Each structure stands twice: as C-alpha cells, then as structure tokens.
C-alpha cells in the first residue's frame, strides 16, 4: 500500500474554558492507503498541529510533516517505524512535529490492523490482552470536605483507584495540601488506591515537593504525579531518593521516547505515564513500555480525551499483566464521547481492556461529531495552502 491522504478533523466544544480538562477539543486524523482507512488522534493544539503538517519548509531538516508521510509505502509495522524516522529527521527543527505525527502514527496502526484483521496489540507482538484497573481522575476540591465528598462519590461509582490533583494542590501551604490528601484517603477508605497529581506545579523546586511527602506517605498514596517540569530529571531524582512508600510518576509531557526513558534512567520515577497521542504514537509508546519492563518501572497510559485515544494508549501495554492500573476518562466533555460510536466500558469486575476488534477497534462517528467540527483555512500570499476536509458525502446527506 501507499499512503494516499492524511486528513485532519478539528472538533471542539462551543466554549473552551480554562479548566485543566484536555477533552474540550480534539484533533482527529484520518489516513487512507489503497482504499483502506485508519484513524488516530493528536493530544495537541489542533490549529498548531495542522500548521506543522502543511507549513512551507524552512530548510532540509525543518520540513512540514506531510513531506515525510504522503506517498510513503505502508506494508507493515517496519514501515511505520521507518516513516517515524523520516519525520524525526526531516522535521528535526519543527518542534510541533512530534505532536502532529502522533495522531498520524496511531492512524497508520489502525489502518494496518484493519487490513490484517488483527488488533494493534497483536501487531505489537503481544499474545494476550490483559485487563486493567481504571482509575478516575478528579480535581482536588476547593475545601478538604469537598475532596472527601468527591472521593466518596468515586467509590460509590465503583472506582477502586482515584486520582486527585490540580485545583489548589501545591499552590498553598504544605499543611493545606496535607488536609486534602488526608480527606481524599478518608473518603476512599483503606482499600482503594489514592493517586495525587501535582501538575508540574513546583517547576524544579525539590524542597516544595519534599514538604508534601510525609502527608502522602501517611495517606498511603501510590504515587505523586508530575511534581516538576518534564525535563527536570535532577529534581525528580532528588525527590525519588527521599520518597519511601510513595512513587514518583510522570511522563505525559514526553514528546520523544528518550524524554520518557530519561525519566526512568535519570529521574527515578516508579511510574512512567505515556500519552501515545503526544510521544509520537503507539510505536514509541511500546518502546517506552519495553524499557519500563527492563527497568522494573510500571507503565501507565495518560489519556484524558476520547476512547480512540484511550484505545491507542492501551495497546502499548495491553500484554503486560503486571502493569495493572490505567487512566480512564471519567467525565470527558461531550465532544470527546461524540468521536466514536462505541466506547471502552468497564466489565463486571470494573476493569477495562483494549478492544479485540481489528486495528484500534473504535468506530469513528463523523455524524456525531458534525456539531463540533471547526473549519480551518490558511493562506500564504493569498494562495490557499490549507482547507479543512469536507465531511464525506454519506455524512453530509444526513445533515
């Protein structure tokens, strides 16, 4: 097969707020090759990612992503890895390229899986598809009582692992944060996993993070996520060396494999959290998972958006029985749910797993997405260089 087309569908809520909720918009990618179709998603700024695909070249290693993709051979996984190397080389100086490529790469796996009638996790070499324990991500409450109430609600809703973060966490005193963490534990009871997400709030201030450790360990928190900015390995390592029972977690900011493996090799994280829709897709995510297995680090997906992104993020560690916990979008915005007509739902045990269907096993629903689609046009010197794709005919007829 040859890659014939790459189309971007930019969807968003009518109003996008300042919430730390990444499900408010989406950039879907459709790739076609010899009549076959695959879908992926970039967890990234839609307009900027589109620009990185079609921008005029700046020089030989600052080329648009399109230059390395359109027309390329696609006969198997090796071709995906080969095209990934092309993009990395030809778009070396185009920072956004990694985010743009991520959605395309995911679509290539989906396409290849459909052609071969295999789920992507089998194409990756896994022979089993293990159930994962989904955790619910929630905002820390405005008051400890609110945090406690939310924790209770999450238990009522059946979650055995819950993550709290953002909101006020890390911005006030360590004592105030300790109250929230204790409230979260109280609300969850003793038998649920408690995860805390600092959302990079301390930059690279190790002391600020260390000041929170005691409360986290008293509450038996499983991990402290993203205490620092993603490249601050020295800070991560300093914190990890002081932590006893709580593990340091991070990785969602990684846009290359090395950024994630460095967090393991130098940062001492116990949990490496990878967003396939940012790191360059499923292939790079699997490479990080392999590295994690070799180093005794637990792999966890990062997913806050659609079930297409969720499926993509589950594939790289579907076959790893011991890497049990998985991030699950609990309250995504309607646009994120509208992306697909099917969803990955918890089973009777409250567990989820990657689909068994070919490719990513997710049916993209352009009809459902129509109310959210946004139309982009870009001109240079009054010549149109980009127009959003028309929605396919069969969909248009429905409107």
**Distance between CA 350 and CA 326 in Å, rounded?**
12
Residue 142 contacts a copy of itself per CB under 8 A: no
The CA–CA distances, whole Å, from 340 to 22, 111, 179, 247 equal: 17, 16, 40, 35
Closer CB to a copy of itself, 77 or 267, in the complex: 267
Q: Which stretch binds a copy of itself (CB under 8 A): 18-26, 175-183, 190-198, 344-352?
A: 18-26
Footprint on residues 194-223 left by a copy of itself (CB under 8 A): 199-200, 203-204
Q: Is 232 in the site for a copy of itself (CB under 8 A)?
A: yes
- Structure tokens, 185: 């534990």
Distance from chain centroid for Cα 361: 17
> Which of 82, 8, 28, 55 has its CA nearest to residue 360?
28
The residue (of 223 and 233) whose beta carbon lies closer to a copy of itself is: 233
51 binds a copy of itself (CB under 8 A): yes
286 binds a copy of itself (CB under 8 A): no
Which among 76-84, 112-120, 228-236, 319-327 is the span making contact with a copy of itself, rule CB under 8 A?
228-236
Dist. CA 332–CA 65, nearest whole Å: 29
Does 59 bind a copy of itself (CB under 8 A)? Our answer is yes
User: Which has the closest alpha carbon to 260: 275, 245, 241?
Assistant: 275
Candidate ranges 38-46, 186-194, 241-249, 343-351; the one touching a copy of itself (CB under 8 A)? 38-46
Cα 237 versus chain centre, distance = 24
Stretch that binds a copy of itself, among 127-135, 242-250, 323-331, 379-387 (CB under 8 A): 379-387
Residues 91-120 that bind a copy of itself (CB under 8 A): 92-96, 98-99
- 71 contacts a copy of itself (rule: CB under 8 A): no
Single out the residue of 7, 32, 36, 45 in contact with a copy of itself (rule: CB under 8 A): 45
Distance (Å) of CA 102 to CA 30, 198, 324, 327: 12, 25, 24, 19
- Alpha-carbon distance of 50 to 308, in angstroms, equals 19
Asked if 253 interacts with a copy of itself (CB under 8 A), we say yes
Q: Does 55 bind a copy of itself (CB under 8 A)?
A: yes
Q: What is the Cα Rg of the chain in Å?
A: 21
Q: Which of 88, 131, 174, 330 binds a copy of itself (CB under 8 A)?
A: 88
Answer yes or no: are the C-beta atoms of 252 and 223 closer than 8 Å.
Answer: no
For residue 47, give the 3-state DSSP assignment: helix
Asked if residue 312 lies in contact with residue 106, where contact means CB atoms within 8 angstroms, the answer is: yes
Q: Rounded CA gap, 134 and 131, in Å?
A: 9
233 binds a copy of itself (CB under 8 A): yes
The interface with a copy of itself within residues 259-278 (CB under 8 A) comprises 259, 261-262, 265-266, 278
Residues forming beta bridges with residue 161, ordered by sequence position: 193
Decide: is 78 part of the binding site for a copy of itself (CB under 8 A): no
Backbone angles phi, psi at 165, to 5 degrees: 180, -170
Minimum CB distance to a copy of itself, residue 289 (Å): 18
Instruction: Give the shortest CB-128-to-a copy of itself separation in angstroms.
Output: 30
| The one among 5, 20, 242, 392 contacting a copy of itself by CB under 8 A | 20
How many CB atoms sit inside 10 A of residue 241's CB?
A: 10
Write the interaction track for a copy of itself spanning residues 315-344; mark x where CB under 8 A is met and - where it is not.
------------------------------
Q: Which of 258, 324, 343, 353 binds a copy of itself (CB under 8 A)?
A: 258
Element (H, E) at 163: strand 161-165
* Closest by Cα among 334, 340, 350, 291 to 312: 340
- Provide the sign of the torsion angle of the four alpha carbons 337, 339, 340, 343, taken in this order: negative
Where do contacts with a copy of itself occur on this chain (CB under 8 A)? 12, 16-22, 24-25, 43-48, 50-52, 54-64, 85, 88-89, 92-96, 98-99, 199-200, 203-204, 229, 231-234, 253, 255-256, 258-259, 261-262, 265-266, 278, 374-382
């Amino acid at each position: 097969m040859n890659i014939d087309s790459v189309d971007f569908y930019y969807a968003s809520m009518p109003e996008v707020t300042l919430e730390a909720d990444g499900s408010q918009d989406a950039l879907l990618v459709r790739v076609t090759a010899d009549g076959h179709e695959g879908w992926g998603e970039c967890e990234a700024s839609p307009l900027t990612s589109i620009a990185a695909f079609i921008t005029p070249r700046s020089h030989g290693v600052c080329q648009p992503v399109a230059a390395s993709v359109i027309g390329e051979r696609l006969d198997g996984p090796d071709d995906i890895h080969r095209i990934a190397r092309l993009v990395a080389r030809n778009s070396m100086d185009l920072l956004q390229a990694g985010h743009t490529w991520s959605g395309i790469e995911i679509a290539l796996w989906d396409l290849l899986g459909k052609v071969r009638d295999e789920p992507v996790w089998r194409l990756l070499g896994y022979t089993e598809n293990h159930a994962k324990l989904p955790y619910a991500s929630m905002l820390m409450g405005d008051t400890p009582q609110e945090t406690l109430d939310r924790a209770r609600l999450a238990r009522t809703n059946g979650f055995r692992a819950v993550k709290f973060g953002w909101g006020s966490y890390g911005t006030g005193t360590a004592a105030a944060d300790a109250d929230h963490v204790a409230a979260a534990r109280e609300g969850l009871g003793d038998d649920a996993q408690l995860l805390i997400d600092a959302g990079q709030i301390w930059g690279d201030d190790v002391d600020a993070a260390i000041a929170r450790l005691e409360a986290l360990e008293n509450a038996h928190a499983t991990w402290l996520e993203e205490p620092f900015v993603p490249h601050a390995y020295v800070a991560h390592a300093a914190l990890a060396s002081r932590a006893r029972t709580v593990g340091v977690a991070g990785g969602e900011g990684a846009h290359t494999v090395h950024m994630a493996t460095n967090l393991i090799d130098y940062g001492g994280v116990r949990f490496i959290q990878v967003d396939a829709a940012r790191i360059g897709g499923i292939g790079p995510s699997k490479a990080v998972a392999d590295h994690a297995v070799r180093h005794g680090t637990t792999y966890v997906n990062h997913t806050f958006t659609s079930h297409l992104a969720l499926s993509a993020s589950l594939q790289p560690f579907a076959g790893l029985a011991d890497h049990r916990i998985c991030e699950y979008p609990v309250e995504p915005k309607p646009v994120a749910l509208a992306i697909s007509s099917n969803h990955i739902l918890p089973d009777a045990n409250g567990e989820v797993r990657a689909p068994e269907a070919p490719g990513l096993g997710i049916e993209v629903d352009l009809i459902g997405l129509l109310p959210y689609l946004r139309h982009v046009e870009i001109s240079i010197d009054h010549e149109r260089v980009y127009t959003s794709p028309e929605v396919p005919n069969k969909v248009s007829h429905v409107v």
